Amino acid sequence: LKLNKVSLKWQLFSVIIAFGLSIIIVFCIFQIFLLDKVYRRTKIKQTKELMNELYTIIDQADVAELKNNDSSLSKEITSLVKNLEADVFVIKKEQIPPSNPQDVPNVEYLCIFPSSDMVDFNKKININLSDTFNQIDKVAKPMFVVSNDEEHEFFHQQISDSEKIIKNNDIIYCERVELSDKSDSYMIILYSRITPVDPAINTLKTQLLYITIIVLAMSVLVAFFISRKISKPLINMNKEALKLGHGNYDLVFNGTGFSEINDLNETLNYAIKELKKTETLKRELIANVSHDLRTPLTLISGYAEMLRDFPEENTKENLQIIIDETSRLKNLVSDLLILSKITAGTENFNMQSFNLTTCIKEIVDRQQKFIEHLNFKIDFKYDEVVYINGDPSKIAQVIYNFLTNAINYSGDSKIVEVWQVVTDSDVTIKFKDYGIGIKKEDLEYVWKRYYRVDKAHTRSTQGTGLGLSIIKEILDYHHFSYGVSSVENEGSVFWFKAKREK
C-alpha cells in the first residue's frame, strides 16, 4: 500500500492513533514494569538521606535528651522519621547480647522513634546485632543490612549491590554514632518497609484498559475533525480544479481553513489568470496562423489553376504574386520554427565578438535597396564602429525584425531612423519611425507571441505576429536590455542595449 494512495483523512487518523497508543505504551512501561523498581530505588535513596540527617542531629547528642520523649531533639527526630514512615532505634553496644540473638528475645534499646510506636524490636529487625556492630566498626561507614526471614537464619552483609536491597522488602540501615557519655559504642538503626506495589499495579492495569479505550475513541474523534477540517477544502478545491481540465476558466478558488489553503487559492487563481491569457493568445494564434496560411495558399492555388487553364495569363505579374505569397508562407513557417527552437533550447548560439555597426549598415543598405522604389528612406546614424559579443546571425535577425516593423508600421511618413548611441561601456541601437505608433495599453503586450495590435490584420502589414517575440527570446538569451516607447499616431522608438567589446 503506497502512502500517497492513502487519503489524508486515513493518514491523519493512523498518525493520531499511533501517537495515542505510543503514549499509552510509554505509560504502561513506566507504571507497570518500572513502578516497583523506581519506588524501591527512591525509598532507598530517601533512607540514606534520612540517615545523613539523623546522624548530624544525633552525633554528640545528650543521652538524657535522647531518652526524653518530650525533648526538642526527640521531637525533631520523630517528625523526620514520620515523614518516611520509618522507625529509628538507638542501641548501646553493651546492651547487645553476644553471639546468637535468637536466645535474646528482647534487646534493650536506648530509644525508639516514633516513640508512640513501641514495637517489638526483634520482630521488626531480624538481624544479628552484634555482628552488625562489629562490621560497622570495621568498615567505619553506614551499612545496609539484609534480613532473611525465610531461612530463619540471621545474616548480614554490607550491600554494595543495591539489587539485593531492592528485592528485600525491609530496608535496614545502620550507622555508628557517638553520644555525650563518650562510651563510643552506640548504633543508629533505621528501619523502613517497602510496601508491595502489586495491588497498585493491578488497579493501574484496569485503569489503563479504560484509558486505552478512551484514548482510542478520542483519537478517532480528533482525527475525524482535523481531517475534515484539512481535507474538506482540499477536496472542494480539487473538484473545482477538475473543471479547469474541461477548459472552464471562469472559476475563483476561495477555499478556507488555514493559511496554506489561502496560498493555494492565490496560486490557483494566478494560474487561471495565466491560463486565460494563454488561451486567448492561442485562439488568436489559430485565427492568425490559419488566416495567414489560408490566404496565401488560396492565392497560390487560384493563380496556378488560372495559369493552367488560361496559358495567355502567364504574365510576369501573376507569377510574381505566386512567388510573393510563397515567400510569405516561408517567412511564417521559418519564424515559427526559429521561435520554437529558441524556446525549446535546441537552437545553438554561436557567441563571438563581432562588428555590430557593420552588421546594421549591411542590413539597412539591403532593406533600403528593397524599398527604394517606394520612396522609402532609412537613415542610419553612427559615429564609430562598435564591437559586441553575441551571435552575429541572431543579432542580425533582431535588427532585421526591428527594421521591418519600423518600415511596416511607418504609415505614410516613409522615414525610418536607426541610431547607434555609444557610451564607454555600452552601445544602444534605436529604431525610430513616425508611423501609427502603439496605444499605451498595448505597449506591454507587443512582446508576447502572436500579439498584434491590429487584430483584423490587413494584408498590407506583412507581419507574422512573431517578430517581437523572436527579438525578445534572442535578447533575453544575450542578457541585453530592450524596450519601446511610443505615442499613438506619432511613431515608436524600439531599442536594445549591449555591452561594448574593447
Separation CA 4–CA 151 (nearest Å): 66
**Cα 355 to Cα 209, 252, 369, 387, 394, distances in angstroms:** 88, 53, 22, 4, 13
- Least Å distance, CB 409 to ligand ADP, is 3
Q: Please report, to the nearest 10 degrees, the dihedral formed by the alpha carbons of residues 53, 59, 64, 67 taken in order.
A: 40
Burial bucket for residue 418 (CB in 10 Å: 0-12, 13-18, 19+):
buried
Question: In terms of residues, how long is the chain?
Answer: 502
Q: Among all residues, whose Cβ is closest to ligand ADP?
A: 463
Residue number with CB closer to ligand ADP (46 or 326): 326
**Cα 487 to Cα 215, 410, 430, 447, distances in angstroms:** 74, 13, 15, 17
How many of the chain's residues bind ligand ADP (CB under 6 A)? 21
Residue number with CB closer to ligand ADP (409 or 496): 409
Nearest to 128 by CA among 109, 148, 151, 150: 148
Q: Which segment (119-127, 237-245, 315-323, 466-474) binds ligand ADP by CB under 6 A?
A: 466-474
Residue number with CB closer to ligand ADP (170 or 433): 433
Contact track, ligand ADP, 298-327, x by CB under 6 A: ------------------------------
Residue tagged 555591452 (cell numbers): 499
Asked whether 169 and 151 are in contact (CB, 8 A), the reply is: no
Helices and strands of the chain, counted as H and E runs: 14, 12
- Least Å distance, CB 331 to ligand ADP, is 9
Residue number with CB closer to ligand ADP (296 or 437): 437
| 3-class DSSP state of 352 | strand
Residue number with CB closer to ligand ADP (116 or 460): 460
- Least Å distance, CB 469 to ligand ADP, is 6
Asked whether 172 and 127 are in contact (CB, 8 A), the reply is: yes
Question: Is 296 an interacting residue with respect to ligand ADP (CB under 6 A)?
Answer: no
Task: Indicate which single residue of 53, 274, 313, 454 sits in contact with ligand ADP (rule: CB under 6 A).
Answer: 454
Look up residue 407 and give its amino acid: I
Nearest to 86 by CA among 199, 174, 166, 12: 174
- Least Å distance, CB 416 to ligand ADP, is 9
Residues 381-420 that bind ligand ADP (CB under 6 A): 405-406, 409
- Least Å distance, CB 325 to ligand ADP, is 16
- Least Å distance, CB 442 to ligand ADP, is 7
Residues 422-441 that bind ligand ADP (CB under 6 A): 433, 435-438
Question: Is 466 an interacting residue with respect to ligand ADP (CB under 6 A)?
Answer: yes
Task: Indicate which single residue of 465, 480, 482, 496 sits in contact with ligand ADP (rule: CB under 6 A).
Answer: 465
Binding region for ligand ADP (CB under 6 A)? 405-406, 409, 433, 435-438, 446, 451-454, 463-469, 492
